[in-house]
Amino acid sequence: MKASGATLCGIRPEGFVHVRTAPVLAMLEEQQLTDDAIRDGMMAACVDPTGRRPSVETLFHAYFLTLPGVRFVGHTHPTPVNSILCAQDGQALLKGRIFPDEIVCCGIAPAWIPYTDPGQPLAREIRRRTEAYREEHGLYPRVLLMENHGFIALGDTPQAVESATAMFVKTCRILLGTAALGGPRFLSDENVRRIYTRPDEKYRERGITGRG
């Protein structure tokens, strides 16, 4: 896990911390923890408790890695994505799909996470929203959008996470461009479902994301 305060740009091995999953997941089951309790719990979960402190976002990373098919989690803050996540009408602008590659790489729809205090409250809200997404769609999301915060991509390969991130950055750049031309033209739900299940699109997905 990334160490608290480390920057992703130019990060080296010493910028990461080895963390045991079980004690982190146990923290998710506690009632609301104080900042001090979260800090102490994070350090206690470290393989080397005398080293650097892991990011407080370790909590939701640990949860995601319990989901079927999820072996890699990418959490970033791309400027085009955050330009929309921080906008007044950002959720409305992201409510539909606009082109096939977005669906192939990022799934049938993103999960939306309203702004929540980082740490345990955010991790619990992410878990709640992710499970609600599965109930609605019959599968877990590939991407999650955190209002006023950032972007998460889930995948079974690093390539899947990288392609979802890159494609959603492209999506947001296009959406920002459509704002000057009357707004986006969303694909119909029927078209989205068709693209998501087409055999040729599934074949193309394997080439782009390394899935399957």
- Give the mean pLDDT of 38-45: 90
SS3 category, 153: strand
Are residues 22 and 123 both part of a single domain? no
- Judge whether residue 138 has pLDDT over 60: yes
Q: Residue 71 in contact with residue 156, Cβ under 8 Å?
A: yes
pLDDT of residue 163: 95
Q: What angle do CA 84, 69, 47 make, to 5 degrees?
A: 90
Report the distance separating Cα 120 and Cα 34, nearest Å.
9
Whether residue 196 sits in one domain with residue 91: yes
Which value, to the nearest 10 degrees, does the dihedral of the CA atoms of residues 18, 152, 205, 186 take? 180
Count the domains in the chain: 2
pLDDT digits (tens, 9 = 90+) for 47-75: 987 888 888 899 999 999 999 999 999 99
Arithmetic mean of pLDDT, 114-118: 96
Q: Are residues 12 and 102 in the same domain?
A: no
Structure tokens at 49: 């408790």
**Stretch 14-40: mean pLDDT:** 90
What are the tokens at 206? Answer: 């394997």
In whole angstroms, give the CA distance from residue 59 to residue 98.
32
- pLDDT reported for residue 197: 87
Which residue range is the domain that position 44 belongs to? Answer: 1-56
Domain containing residue 159: CATH number = 3.40.225.10
In the numeric block, the tokens 């955050």 are attached to 82
Provide the pLDDT for residue 154: 98
- Same domain for 96 and 176: yes
Residues 86-108 have pLDDT tens digits of: 999 999 999 999 999 999 999 99
Q: Are residues 33 and 102 in the same domain?
A: no
In this structure, the answer to whether residues 15 and 77 fall within a common structural domain is no
Q: Is residue 64, in this structure, part of any structural domain at all? A: no
> What is the secondary structure of 164-184 as a DSSP string?
HHHHHHHHHHHHHHHGGGTS-
Same structural domain, 124 and 198: yes
Whether residue 5 is contained in a domain is answered as yes
